[in-house]
Chain A
């Protein structure tokens, strides 16, 4: 009988992480990039919760996951504000165009 173990959660997490990285790297739209970041954060959350469930850590993993969600919310708020400002400046949110840091 196939039971759901730690490995399954980790695989899901890896898949989510990889998808998030992929999104962050390849998407041109800044909002999509932010979404990729959300994926990465959530894959981490899954890891925390899974290790908390199968390890002997009490509720620490779940609590950290909660923190991460809060952080993600805050980060999304700030990041969106930055994106809005960028849009106001150059009327565009294509990340390829935002390369003024180079100079």
Chain B
């Protein structure tokens, strides 16, 4: 396996889904079975991705990059040399990510074969999936930030197409628009960030930007600008990863087909934001990181409280996704880099499993999504139930699952961070959210699969989904166990993922802008596996066991509460709701985010538009009309002038000429003799006149 072969495989993995998209879209209406082509292509891509990951992780220590000049504008005035390169980077992060993306995409493809059967736009659905997969792998593979932005927008477009796939439904097309527009807000920030970096470094390539930063070249020679650039780039991640305050699009995006939710809103698209932060982790200053951590903490907390009361099975999962992404972002903000990426992987699997599981339930219940109408499905859909249960255990952070490992790491990271810097808010939020997560996930499980069926008639017709739908569930559930990631179920640090695959990130920021614990000391120089510094290593070490025990207690408490509420019925839920009506409504109405945005931004935009419309109508149109009126008046006057004075003059001369002609035509008799008389008379007159000369 050589580097160039690796690059070729990567290019194949990247472009195969695009081929699938084009072929499926073009032949979609003619060849009924063309969706199989898209599926087979995806399998090939998955195999390619696994090959890449296997060889990269086993035989290559270095980062493999390949690039070519895409656009060379040469020396331009004002901007200097402009050269835009495109390229592929293969490091541990990108190959792990591509495997996750391809695996989940393939499983979603397979799941959709049955789930979407009978849809009038069946083949087009698979074409869109292909486009989405292509865009997402572009984000994963890119080695430069402009290309990242291009694929970033492509992901936006394809998610728009997928969310609005059932565009006949008004809510679906609205949700698609909302997702697209809300994402744009973050993307503007990201674009400005890219421009700041470009004006300083004159390159889009991440590697070159990093090396210049580490040499001490800062945007506008000021580390505050580096912070700002970092935060602006992070704004893109806020949009894509649905972080507070731009999280509102994700729950609405559940209007799309459920497998799409599993693909986009669990594992890939929303993970793109986290992936971006992981990619450019080295350029965040301490201030930027603190900002990121705060956004992450808010995004972990707020959606978790909303998820407690939602009744739509997919909405609960959507808010849980936002909350888990908040975890990852917070982890990155507090420096728990490896655990954040680890959680990204584990979360992708169990959340995709949950979404596909909910898809299976919805399919079985004939498009019933309200958990109040479910219950007792455990006996009817055993396979769905057990996979759903395993994933729920994983997301709640119960030992022996992958979620336990990664979540515990994040909590330990925030704990250590608090220890080192005194920001105790983050572990507090982290642990509290851990409990909420366990609670609402088990609320979901208990209401859906246990208890008495609420809707007898529907319950009678429920059946376990077909093999083709359950097999992805089983695969994903199996991937939610610990043994894929580490041999030791309580300490992931010694496992291959964290000790071999995800290595310490390189930091490029000037040392005076970093946290103290991120300044490397002599220990790091000796042992490259130590994250950041000895100080941080020790803090993590001391935080590990307390955090683990606390998180266990929290998860246990959450699950116990859920059982008390919804299984043993020890607590009367409706009474509790009555008692804390305000709090309940606050959560039920999603903290009034949508209402707030409607009242402020949407209404503001509308008011501004109305004002501008009025302005247009009154002022601009007024000016135009006024000048038209003035011109008209002026023209009228000019017209009159033309008619009377100019034409009058012309007519006068014409008349005069006519008159003179009338006189002189009499002389023109045509008779030679008269002419002769004239000549003689003239001669005589002339003689008299010139007589004196």
Chain A contact residues, CB within 8 Å of chain B = 21, 24-26, 33, 95-96, 98-103
Contacts and interface: CB of A to CB of B under 8 A. Distances in A.
Contacts of A96: 671, 673
A96 B674 CA distance: 10
B668 A102 contact: yes
Contact of A21 (B668, B669, B670, B680): B680
Contact of B671 (A21, A99, A103): A99
A74 B680 CA distance: 24
B663 interface: no
A24 B677 CA distance: 10
B676 interface: yes
Contacts of A102: 668-671
A35 B677 CA distance: 17
Interface residues of B, number: 9
Contacts of A24: 673, 676
Nearest to A100: B670
Interface in B239-280: none
Given A21-B676, A24-B673, 5 more contacts: A25-B680, A95-B672, A95-B673, A99-B670, A101-B670
Nearest to B677: A25
A95 B671 CA distance: 7
Nearest to B680: A21
Contacts of B671: 95-96, 98-99, 102
Nearest to A27: B673
Contacts of A25: 673, 676-677, 680
Q: What 7 A-B pairs have minimum CB-CB distances, sorted nearest first? A: A102-B670, A99-B670, A101-B670, A99-B671, A25-B673, A102-B668, A25-B677
Interface string B657-684: 0000000000011111100110010000
Nearest to A96: B671
Interface of B is mostly: helix
A103 B668 CA distance: 9
A102 B680 CA distance: 20
Contacts of A99: 669-671
Contacts of B668: 102
A21 B669 CA distance: 19
A66 B188 CA distance: 112
9 contacts: A25-B677, A26-B673, A33-B672, A95-B672, A96-B671, A98-B671, A101-B670, A102-B668, A103-B670
Contact of A98 (B672, B676, B677, B680): B672
B673 to A, nearest CB: 5
Interface string B411-446: 000000000000000000000000000000000000
Nearest to B675: A101
Contacts of A95: 671-673
Contacts of A100: 670
Contacts of B673: 24-26, 33, 95-96
Nearest to B668: A102
A51 B244 CA distance: 130
B661 to A, nearest CB: 14
A98 B673 CA distance: 10
Nearest to B673: A25
A99 to B, nearest CB: 3
Contacts of B672: 33, 95, 98
A24 B671 CA distance: 12
Interface string B586-629: 00000000000000000000000000000000000000000000
A93 to B, nearest CB: 12
A53 to B, nearest CB: 26
A3 to B, nearest CB: 30
Contacts of B670: 98-103
